[in-house]
Amino acid sequence: MKAIAVFASGSGTNFEAIAQACADGRLQARIALMVCDVPGAPVIARAERFGIESFVFNPKSYSGKAAYEAEIVRLLDAHDIQLVCLAGYMRIVGPTLLQAYGGRIINIHPSLLPSFKGAHAVEDAVAYGVKVYGITIHWVNDQLDGGQIIAQRAFPYEGSDPAEVHRQGQVIEHQLYVETIAKLLQ
């Protein structure tokens, strides 16, 4: 059974979709570690419900990104992690983590990259007036949302409510991320 790590900063719906897929056998892997940079984030309780070990840290407690990423790398190595899945992890991955796990980190993003990079992709797309939205899964590199695209799925929406776009997108995210992780681990 391949060991994966999931990084999250918030509610953890993608984390839960991945954990559930592991639990019910749709994903032949186990989440060996959940990493969260927001003490008290709801994803922590989700990990506890699944019995998954968590590393929760406050970035301000470290001297800098290199210091907390070095600790994360030690934990990933200790758990023999083969794939890191960013699932709403709202930090830019730095050189320390990229040097150790480059080529083994993927991210899910709520737009059809390369359009609408960054933390406000849905809001930016709505403001622009697009009629087709989507989800992208890509390899993580040293550029914000700039790694090679692995998978994408589009959906139409002609309204102007970012919350509705997020709601529709999450349904797709939960399916596409599990499918993509399964393919990458084969």
Q: Which residues are catalytic?
A: 109
pTM, two decimal places: 0.97
List all residues 6 or more positions away from 143 whose beta carbon is below 8 Å from its beta carbon: none
Q: Which two tokens stand for residue 125?
A: 């797309």
Measure CA of the first residue to CA of the last residue in the chain; give whole Å.
11
Cα distances (angstroms) measured from residue 24 to each of 20, 36, 122, 173, 174:
6, 24, 31, 18, 14
Q: What are the residue ranges spanned by the domains of the chain? A: 2-185
The per-residue pLDDT for 145 is: 97
Q: Give the three-class secondary structure for 105.
A: strand
Classify domain 2-185 at the CATH superfamily level. Answer: Formyl transferase, N-terminal domain (3.40.50.170)
Burial class from Cβ neighbours inside 10 Å (0-12, 13-18, 19+) for residue 81 reads: buried
User: pLDDT tens, position by position, for the chain (186 residues)?
Assistant: 999 999 999 999 999 999 999 999 999 999 999 999 999 999 999 999 999 999 999 999 999 999 999 999 999 999 999 999 999 999 999 999 999 999 999 999 999 999 999 999 999 999 999 999 999 999 999 999 999 999 999 999 999 999 999 999 999 999 999 999 999 999
